[in-house]
């Protein structure tokens, strides 16, 4: 038995900051130091704290090292493993107290979370089925197979689980519809087409705990009476696809998938379908069209997928997080799950907390947790002394909640009442440097490009809204534009075929509701208060501060800055493309480059 | 080339549901979908070319022009946007003298905007030849392009 285990994160985030090289170096040096027998190195999936990656945890000491570099490995071995001393400089620093926090469980980011769906993430090796099994995996499946499908659906219904893809439809009811539907064969689909830009919960779960999703899908298949499952994953997530494919292989070998699962009279298999880059394919009917090899365009409902889905057969579609909740519900019981969160909205919510926040990453909290608690107690607030302005939930289909409403509970109903949506779990924190007009324009450019073009309100409407927002951003807005935006928004909302169009105006409507004065500043005074909209800002060099070091002139990609050495430099506004490289490269002590607006 | 296409089609099967996977595999080998390869797929699967184009052009992933030696993808997801990916794109455009979805004249670089790479905690992010570069700045871009131009792998 090894005395210690080193867990090293190999999620996409940590891999990009070189965790595979660190793992290799660790294994090599442990060998050199004769510790290979005593210390086990284990790869895990995402810990959720990608921003501080690469992350390395030493157990049983429970020490959490972050932003580890290959060069640090030697010291970790010599100082920590051999001398038993903790290396202070690699510990997490609390942004509020400035103190080093050695213990994993004491870090605010983790301490204030309640991990149910993410319980295994970062603790097991996603490529080892035995790791999943020793963490209680496949117990739920065994239990399931000893129950009748109706009993399984009953447990799911009683747990109060609602779809985590965004709509919040009761999962048990959805399963029942499909079970009752006539037609054979039936299909179950895991929707892992996580298209919301700014969200990565589903990717992380698939990378860190693929068997949980797999087990959930098999249970769904049993409950509904399906023999075939699909998982539809974005092609942009190669690691998630690789890990899931490997999980399928090992599950088949162990008899958790395939013919006569666990020796029972139930056969079920899963096929991976890769998305090809279309946001609208997150919509159920579009997703099914794509699975059938067609253009991913939505079709009117009814018929609902439960009646006529893939290949015209009854089909049930659930999000990754919904399915990952299923094994826990069956093993710990419906009452246990229902006791978490709110009545009518039980369980936990998983968010990808990103943007202008000190600790960004994956966060899981009980439904109904106040927004401020997520942003401040887990996220550590807004960094660099800036002020919290708003939080954006639900991606391009959602809206912005202003800082003044930060006490709002995060659950399906409360967010909808504030004009936003829960969505699949993107939570982007905005500070004073975020321009709400620019953000709305950004979201509309996204939905406009992703509109499949089938129905005119969405196809033409989003384009018109985008044009008006572009005009306002460029300083050519007129007072009547705001009313036009609102009229268009309601037409698109009411007239669109699917949820993409139906929710596309939300970012504009919520920012108009809470930040109207910012639009008016752009229109009436041609000002961008957040200093973002390019046509309304300019860069200048303060002659009293410039020391003539010439760094900005050398970095400028268009040669717009001139000046002799040790003399004040000047920006040629005709040439300047306002990329901000001068602003960024001016030495912090000098800060001579300034951003201005009217 | 067409024998490869034959192999790919045989692996997936000729059912209409496999068209997207087949096109994905062809693109993985050739880096884009050429006129010839689409014609071969059409013949082998007995699907009209017009329908294959209909499907392929719907999805962002598919390319119809051969991309450059290095593929630069700049993430335009929300987290990246609020953390300043637009100015990064401006710098890339002016350094490379191309617009997104274009390739430099010397065939060295292609530039692409992508919606979200799922590395939001490292925003702003760009990906060069499948390697993720997180917490990017305008300054770092110049250095990175120089390394790539000089043929270095860093």
Asked if residue A118 belongs to a domain, the reply is no
d(CA A381, CA A108): 11
How many percent of chain A have pLDDT more than 90?
A: 89
Structural domain of A453: 436-524
**Over residues A128-148, mean pLDDT:** 97
For Cα atoms A155, A160, A162, give the angle at the middle one, nearest 5 degrees. Answer: 115
pLDDT at residue A167, rounded to an integer: 85
Please check whether residue B138 touches A, CB under 8 A. yes
Give B3 to chain A, closest Cα distance, Å. Answer: 22
The beta strands (E) that lie in A39-117 are given as 39-44, 56-59, 63-65, 92-93, 100-101
pLDDT, tens digit, for every residue of B17-58? 999 999 999 999 999 999 999 999 999 999 999 999 999 999
Domain termination residue (choose one: A398, A431, A464)? A431
Nearest-angstrom CA–CA distance, A170 and A156: 9
Backbone angles phi, psi at A460, to 5 degrees: -85, -40
Confidence (pLDDT) at B152:
55
User: Percent of chain A at pLDDT above 70?
Assistant: 100
A-facing residues of B in 23-52 (CB < 8 A) are 23-24
Give the Cα separation of A584 and B138 in Å (integer): 8
Kindly identify which residue of chain A lies nearest to residue B94, measuring between CA atoms.
A557
CATH label of the domain that carries residue A38 = 3.40.30.10
Of B19, B94, B121, the CB nearest to A577: B94
- C-alpha–C-alpha distance, residues A207 and A43, integer Å: 11
**pLDDT-derived band of residue A172, with 50, 70 and 90 as boundaries?**
very high
Judge: B121–A16 Cβ closer than 8 Å, yes or no: no
Question: Does the residue A181 lie in any domain?
Answer: yes
CA distance A395 to chain B (A): 8
Q: Which among B59, B77, B138 is the nearest to A198, CB-wise?
A: B77
Instruction: Please give the radius of gyration of chain A, using alpha carbons only, rounded to the nearest integer.
Output: 26
Rounded to whole angstroms, how far apart are CA atoms B144 and A436?
32
Determine contact, residues A500/A285, Cβ cutoff 8 Å.
no
pLDDT one-digit tens code per residue, A286-332: 999 999 999 999 999 999 999 999 999 999 999 999 999 999 999 99
Residues of A with CB below 8 A from B90's CB? 577-579
Q: What is the pLDDT of residue B3?
A: 65
Nearest partner of A190 among A114, A125, A282, judged by Cα: A282
- CATH number, domain with residue A368: 3.10.20.600
**Cα–Cα distance between B149 and B151 in angstroms, integer?**
5
Asked if A199 and B76 come within 8 Å (Cβ–Cβ), the reply is no
Please answer whether residues A15 and A55 qualify as being in contact, where contact means their C-beta atoms are separated by less than 8 angstroms. Answer: no
Q: Note the pLDDT of residue B1.
A: 47
**Which tens digit of pLDDT belongs to each residue from A561-586?**
999 999 999 999 999 999 999 999 99
d(C-alpha A272, C-alpha A282), whole Å: 15
Which chain A residues have a beta carbon less than 8 Å from that of B62? 276
* In the block, residue with structure tokens 């572009």: A470
| Helices A320-332 and A201-208, packing angle to 10 deg | 50
Contact A274 B20 (CB under 8 A): yes
Cα Rg of chain B (Å, integer) = 18
Concatenate the DSSP letters of all residues of A504-554 into one string.
Answer: TTHHHHHHHHH-HHHHHHHHHS---TTS--GGGEEEEE-TTT-----HHHH
Q: Is the domain of A50 the same as that of A82? A: yes
Mutation site for B-interface testing, chosen from A14, A557, A559, A577 by largest number of B Cβ within 10 Å: A557
> Closest residue of B to A289, CA-based?
B17
One domain, residues A356 and A390? yes
Q: Is B120 helix (H, G, I), strand (E, B) or coil?
A: helix
User: Is residue A202 domain-shared with residue A259, that is, in the same domain?
Assistant: yes
Alpha-carbon distances, residue B26 vs B36, B53, B63, B70 (angstroms): 11, 14, 11, 19
Q: Give A12 to chain B, closest Cα distance, Å.
A: 7
Q: Do β-strands A570-571 and A341-342 pair in parallel, antiparallel, or remain unpaired? A: unpaired
CA distance A47 to A15: 12
Q: Tell me, yes or no, whether A138 and A40 share the same domain.
A: no
Banded pLDDT at B117 (limits 50, 70, 90): confident
DSSP state of A170: B
User: Which band of pLDDT confidence, cut at 50, 70 and 90, is reported for residue A265?
Assistant: very high
**Burial of B3 per CB tally in 10 Å (0-12, 13-18, 19+):** exposed
Among B19, B60, B123, beta carbon nearest to A293: B19
Closest CA to B24 of A193, A273, A282: A273
Q: Are A234 and A201 in contact (CB under 8 A)?
A: no
Residue A115 lies in a domain: no
Using an 8 Å CB-CB cutoff, list chain B residues near A355: 78-79, 82-83, 123
Strand segments, DSSP code E, in B57-134 are: 70-75, 102-103, 109-114, 126-128, 131-133
Chain-centre distance for alpha carbon A292: 27
Helices (H), chain B: 2-12, 19-30, 35-45, 49-58, 78-82, 85-96, 138-149
The nearest CA of chain A is from the CA of B83 a distance in Å of 7
pLDDT at B151 over 80: no
Which pTM does this prediction carry? Answer: 0.93
Residue-level pLDDT at B16: 85
Inside any domain, residue A124: no
With CA atoms as reference, the chain B residue closest to A583 would be: B138
* Domain stop point among A294, A314, A338: A338
In a domain, A441, yes or no: yes
**How, if at all, do strands A369-370 and A92-93 pair?**
unpaired
Residue A429 has a pLDDT of 96
Residues A365 and A325 in one domain: no
Look up residue A431 and give its two tokens. Answer: 């500070």
CB B109 within 8 A of CB B58: no
* Cβ atoms of residues A246 and A276 within 8 Å: no
Tell me the pLDDT tens digit for each residue of A51-62. 888 999 998 888
Find, among A250, A219, A247, the residue nearest to A233 by Cα: A247
Listed residue (A513, A310, A299) closest to A404, CA to CA: A513
Select from B82, B94, B114 the Cβ nearest to the Cβ of A355: B82
**Torsion angle of alpha carbons A185, A202, A44, A215, nearest 10°?**
-20
Whether residue A357 is contained in a domain is answered as: yes
Residues forming beta bridges with residue A40, ordered by sequence position: A5
CA distance B25 to B6: 12
Q: Tell me, rounded to whole angstroms, the distance of Cα A314 from its chain centroid.
A: 30
One domain for residues A353 and A488: no
Question: How many A-B residue pairs are in contact by the CB < 8 A criterion?
Answer: 167
Mean pLDDT over each residue of chain A, to the nearest integer: 95
Model confidence at B119, in pLDDT bands (50, 70, 90)?
Answer: confident
Question: Is B19 part of the contact surface with chain A (CB cutoff 8 Å)?
Answer: yes
Domain boundary among A306, A338, A370: A338
Cβ–Cβ gap B82/A434 under 8 Å: yes
A437: tokens are 């007009």
How many angstroms separate the CA of residue A455 from the nearest CA in chain B? 15
B78 and A356: CB-CB below 8 Å?
Answer: no
Asked if the structure places residue A119 within a domain, the reply is: no
- Are both A39 and A83 inside the same structural domain? yes
Over residues A490-532, the pLDDT tens digits come to 999 999 999 999 999 999 999 999 999 999 999 999 999 999 9
Letter string b/e over residues A280-315, b meaning 16 or more CB atoms within 10 A of that residue's CB: bbbbbbbbbbbbbbbbbbbeeeeebbbbbbbeebbb
In the prediction, which pLDDT does B154 show? 45
- As a whole number of angstroms, the distance between CA B114 and CA B117 comes to 7
> Which tokens hold the place of A215?
């087990």
| Adjacent-strand bridge partners of B58 | none
Q: What residues have CB less than 8 Å from A65, skipping those under 6 apart? A: A55, A56, A57, A58, A72, A76, A87, A90, A91
What is the reported pLDDT for B2? 58
A354 plus A464 within the same structural domain: no
Within a domain: residue A161?
Answer: yes
Q: Tell me, yes or no, whether A37 and A168 share the same domain.
A: no
List pLDDT tens digits, range A327-382: 999 999 999 999 999 999 999 999 999 999 999 999 999 999 999 999 999 999 99
Q: How far is A200 from chain B (nearest CA, A)?
A: 5
Bridge partners of A365, per DSSP, are A349
If asked whether residues A318 and A351 sit together in one domain, one would say no
Mark whether A462 and A554 lie in a shared domain: no
Rounded distance between C-alpha atoms, residue A457 and residue A194, angstroms: 24
Number of domains composing chain A: 5
Task: State which residue of chain B sits closest to A277, comparing Cα positions.
Answer: B60
A144-181 burial code (b ≥16 CB/10 A, e <16) = bbebebeebbbbbbbbbbbbbbbbbebbbebbbbbbeb
What ranges in A199-254 are assigned the alpha helix state H? 201-208, 210-224, 238-253
Rounded Cα gap, residues A200 and A188, in angstroms = 23
Whether A22 and A154 map to the same domain: the answer is no
Q: Which of A9, A192, A197 to mutate to test the interface with B (most CBs of B within 10 A)?
A: A197
């Amino acid at each position: 038995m090894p005395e210690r285990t080193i867990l090293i994160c190999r999620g996409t985030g940590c891999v990009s900051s070189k965790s595979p090289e660190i793992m290799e170096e660790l294994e090599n040096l442990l060998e050199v130091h004769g510790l290979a027998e005593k210390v086990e190195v284990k790869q895990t999936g995402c810990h959720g704290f990608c921003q501080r990656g690469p992350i390395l945890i030493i157990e049983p000491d429970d020490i959490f090292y972050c932003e580890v570099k290959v060069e640090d490995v030697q010291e970790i071995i010599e100082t920590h493993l051999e001398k038993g001393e903790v290396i202070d400089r690699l510990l997490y620093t609390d942004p509020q107290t400035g103190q080093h926090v050695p213990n994993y469980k004491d870090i605010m980011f983790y301490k204030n979370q309640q991990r149910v769906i993410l319980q295994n993430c970062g603790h097991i090796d996603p490529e080892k089925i035995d790791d999943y099994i020793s963490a209680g995996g496949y117990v739920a499946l065994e239990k399931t197979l000893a129950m009748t499908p109706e009993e399984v659906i009953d447990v799911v219904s009683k747990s109060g689980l609602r779809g985590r893809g965004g709509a919040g439809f009761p999962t048990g009811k959805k399963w029942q519809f499909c079970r009752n539907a006539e037609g054979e064969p039936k299909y179950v689909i895991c929707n892992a087409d996580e298209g919301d830009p700014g969200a990565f919960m589903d990717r992380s779960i698939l990378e860190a705990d693929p068997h949980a999703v797999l087990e959930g899908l098999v249970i769904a298949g049993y409950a509904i009476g399906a023999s075939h499952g699909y998982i539809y994953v974005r092609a942009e997530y190669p690691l998630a696809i690789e890990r899931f494919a490997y999980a399928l292989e090992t599950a088949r070998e162990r008899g958790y998938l395939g013919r006569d699962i666990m020796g029972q009279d139930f056969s079920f298999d899963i096929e991976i379908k890769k998305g090809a880059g279309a946001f609208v394919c997150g919509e159920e009917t579009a997703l099914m069209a794509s699975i059938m090899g067609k253009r991913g365009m939505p079709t009117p409902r009814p018929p609902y997928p439960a009646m006529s889905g893939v290949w015209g057969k009854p089909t049930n579609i659930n999000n990754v997080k919904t399915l990952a909740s299923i094994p826990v519900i069956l093993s710990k019981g419906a009452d246990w799950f229902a006791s978490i969160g709110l009545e009518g909205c039980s369980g936990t919510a998983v968010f990808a907390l990103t943007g202008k926040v000190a600790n960004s990453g994956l966060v899981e909290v009980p439904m109904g947790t106040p927004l401020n608690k997520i942003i401040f107690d887990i996220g550590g607030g807004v960094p660099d002394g800036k002020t919290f302005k708003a939080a954006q939930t639900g991606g391009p289909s959602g809206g912005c909640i202003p800082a003044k409403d930060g006490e709002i509970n995060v659950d399906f109903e409360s967010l909808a009442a504030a004009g936003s949506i829960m969505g699949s779990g993107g939570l982007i924190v905005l500070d004073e440097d975020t321009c709400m007009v620019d953000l709305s324009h950004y979201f509309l450019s996204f939905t406009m490009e992703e509109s499949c073009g089938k129905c005119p309100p969405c196809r033409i409407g989003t384009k018109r809204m985008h044009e008006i927002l572009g005009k306002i951003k460029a300083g050519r807005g007129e007072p009547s534009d705001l009313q036009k935006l609102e009229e268009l928004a309601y037409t698109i909302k009411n007239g669109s075929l699917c949820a993409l169009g139906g929710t596309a105006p939300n970012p504009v409507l919520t920012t108009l509701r809470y930040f109207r004065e910012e639009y008016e500043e752009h229109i009436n005074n041609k000002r961008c208060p957040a200093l973002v909209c390019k046509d309304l800002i300019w860069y200048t060099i303060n002659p009293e501060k410039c020391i003539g070091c010439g760094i900005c002139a050398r970095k400028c990609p268009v040669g717009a800055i001139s000046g002799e050495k040790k003399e004040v430099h000047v920006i040629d506004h005709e040439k300047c493309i306002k990329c901000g490289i001068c602003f960024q490269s001016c030495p912090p002590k000098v800060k001579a480059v300034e951003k201005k607006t009217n | 080339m067409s024998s490869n296409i034959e192999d790919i089609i045989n692996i997936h099967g000729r059912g209409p549901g496999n068209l997207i996977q087949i096109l994905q595999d062809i693109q993985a080998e050739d880096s884009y979908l050429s006129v010839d390869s689409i014609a071969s797929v059409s013949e082998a699967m007995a699907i009209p070319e017009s329908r294959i184009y209909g499907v392929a052009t719907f999805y962002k992933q598919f390319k119809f022009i051969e991309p450059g030696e290095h593929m630069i993808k700049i993430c335009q997801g929300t987290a990246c946007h609020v953390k300043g990916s637009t100015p990064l794109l401006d710098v890339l455009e002016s350094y490379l003298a191309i617009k997104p979805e274009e390739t430099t004249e010397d065939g060295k670089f292609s530039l692409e905007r992508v919606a979200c790479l799922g590395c939001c905690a490292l925003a702003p992010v760009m990906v060069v030849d499948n390697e993720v570069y997180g917490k990017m700045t305008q300054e770092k871009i110049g250095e990175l392009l120089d390394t790539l131009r000089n043929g270095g792998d860093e």
